[in-house]
Amino acid sequence: MRQVAILISGSGSNMAALIDDMARPGHPARPVLVVSSEPGAAGIARAEAAGVPAVALDHRAFAQRSEFEAALQARLEAAGADLLCLAGFMRILSGSFVERWRGRALNIHPSLLPRYPGLDTHARALAAGDREAGCTVHELTPELDAGPILGQARVPVLPDDTAAALAARVLRAEHRLYPAVLRRFAAGDRRPVLLSFPED
């Protein structure tokens, strides 16, 4: 049984989707901790409501990134975590931290990588006139948004889409993709999960 820690910074809707799926029988992983880099994140209350211990590590309370990461690592070890799921975690983690978790850390990104690493992915897809968009779950590596792809979900871009409308459609796909990838990854299966939601 893998022991999953979920790192968040905001609403935690992906975190909630992961926790809900892990609650179903036969899942090869269970949530042991939620860590938020933002003390006021709504995801903290969501985690506690789901019965998962949650802690805020305000990154502003640490003078150095290394001190923040040392505190994070201590919490993860105390909780017995052996698999990390970043879900809207908005802090850059150092290469040394990522190397320590190499092969045991996942991230979800709201674009069809390698297209649109970084921020503002939906506005960039619309500006480029893309007819499809989506999300990617990848292994965490020191390079931002660039690790081995473990899953992707495709959604249509509609003619009158705003960035907000596209973001909402992609987020719905994220909530289906991430749990499917975690379930497969935690079972030791590295085959990518490829989903498509043409009608959404």
Query: In a 10 Å sphere around its CB, with 0-12 CB exposed, 13-18 middle and 19+ buried, how is residue 164 labelled?
Result: exposed
Q: Rounded to the nearest whole angstrom, what is the least distance from the CB of residue 198 to ligand GRF in the complex?
A: 20
Nearer CB in complex with ligand GRF: 88/151: 88
Q: Which of 21, 130, 145, 174 binds ligand GRF (CB under 6 A)?
A: 174
Q: Which of 33, 34, 106, 110 binds ligand GRF (CB under 6 A)?
A: 110
Q: Rounded to the nearest whole angstrom, what is the least distance from the CB of residue 97 to ligand GRF in the complex?
A: 18
H-helix segments, the chain:
13-22, 42-49, 65-79, 95-100, 121-127, 163-186
Q: Is 8 a binder of ligand GRF (CB under 6 A)?
A: yes
Q: Rounded to the nearest whole angstrom, what is the least distance from the CB of residue 136 to ligand GRF in the complex?
A: 9
Nearer CB in complex with ligand GRF: 5/80: 5
Active site residue 122: no
Residue nearest to ligand GRF (CB): 88
- Residue 6, strand partner residues: 34, 85
Nearer CB in complex with ligand GRF: 13/152: 13
Q: Residue 161 CB: number of other CB atoms within 10 A?
A: 18
Q: Which of 6, 10, 38, 139 binds ligand GRF (CB under 6 A)?
A: 10
Cβ-contact 7, 28 below 8 angstroms: no
Q: Is 182 a binder of ligand GRF (CB under 6 A)?
A: no
- Residue 109, strand partner residues: 136
Tell me how far apart the alpha carbons of residues 165 and 156 are, in angstroms, rounded to a whole number.
11
Nearest to 28 by CA among 195, 191, 194, 189: 189
Which residues are catalytically annotated? 109
Q: Which residues bind ligand GRF (CB under 6 A)?
A: 8, 10-15, 43, 87-88, 108-110, 135, 171, 174
